[in-house]
Amino acid sequence: MLLNYQVHGEGSPLLILHGLFGTLENWGTQIKRLSQNYQVIAADMRDHGRSPHSEEISYTLMAEDIRNLMDHLNLDSAHIIGHSMGGKAAMQFALTYPDRVNKLIIVDIAPVLYSPHHDDVFKGLFSVNLASLKSRSDADKQLTTFISDSRVRAFLLKNLYRAENGEFKWRMNLALLHNQYTRISAAPKGEAYAKPVLFIKGAKSDYLIPEYRDAVLSLFPKSDYRIIRDAGHWPHAEKPAEFTDAVLKYLQ
């Protein structure tokens, strides 16, 4: 599968991978700054954004998608930033193809099996009556029953688009993501990665907690941490300047 992607700027290649329910468009603020020093490649993960829909999702397949994209762009190696699901995909790629990774940055996720915690999101997305929608605000109202946080609703609604026939549709492959959610919750696997890794954590997030430190060190023994204060699971969106400063410092 060839992922949908955008290329911005010139310099050493830097690949950005978004999380579950996200798209490459979530990273616009970071792309603007990072592309001043790097060739930034932002990709839509499989079954997300404008990338193809499939019948199967797994971190092994996502790692192959990353390899295919790098081959397509004639990149022997690249820096990689991955957030949440994209972070697990980046970890799996690094474990599988360590020589093709320069510097690796993992954002607010650990290499562990997570218990389900997107039930309300799936219920909300499935509750939206796409055929009856007149506007994006109609969808927002329907989501409110299940998702009270307006920022989360706005994030999810970036997936909504109007097809040529005038009907609203989700860009993501919602049914597949729901049916194969256990694969998205799974942990990456492989031999320990010998090179340094930066883990960036939102201070208010519970995705990257001390209890997971042993799991991190077993696969990434040369890991370092940067905590973004007053940020949750989306530190790049909640504290963009501080987040990008941390990224640039590590890459330089």
Total of domains in the chain: 2
Print the domain residue range for 102: 5-113+187-251
- 99 and 213 in a single domain? The answer is yes
Segments in the chain below pLDDT 50: none
Q: Encoding tokens for residue 228? A: 């973004």
CATH number at residue 60: 3.40.50.1820
The Cα-based distances of 59 to 21, 84, 99, 145, 236 in angstroms read: 15, 12, 18, 32, 22
Nearest to 100 by CA among 82, 77, 80, 79: 77
Nearest to 46 by CA among 230, 173, 204, 178: 173
Task: Give catalytic status of residue 233 as yes or no.
Answer: yes
- 96 and 199 in a single domain? The answer is yes
Apex CA 220: angle with CA 217 and CA 224, to 5°?
80
- 215 and 102 in a single domain? The answer is yes
Task: Give catalytic status of residue 48 as yes or no.
Answer: no
Q: Pick from 179, 195, 210: which residue ends a domain?
A: 179
pTM: 0.96
Question: Which tens digits make up the pLDDT trace of 193-207?
Answer: 999 999 999 999 999
- 233 and 163 in a single domain? The answer is no
- 174 and 205 in a single domain? The answer is no
Options 84, 135, 148, 205, the catalytic residue: 84
The sheet with strand 12-17 has its strands ordered as 5-8, 38-43, 12-17, 78-83, 101-107, 197-202, 223-228
- 108 and 229 in a single domain? The answer is yes
- 97 and 139 in a single domain? The answer is no
The answer to whether 81 and 17 are in contact (CB under 8 A) is: yes
Options 48, 83, 233, 236, the catalytic residue: 233
Q: Scan for tokens 């790629």, then name that residue.
A: 93
Q: Pick from 152, 179, 206: which residue ends a domain?
A: 179
The answer to whether 31 and 42 are in contact (CB under 8 A) is: yes
Question: Which tens digits make up the pLDDT trace of 60-116?
Answer: 999 999 999 999 999 999 999 999 999 999 999 999 999 999 999 999 999 999 999
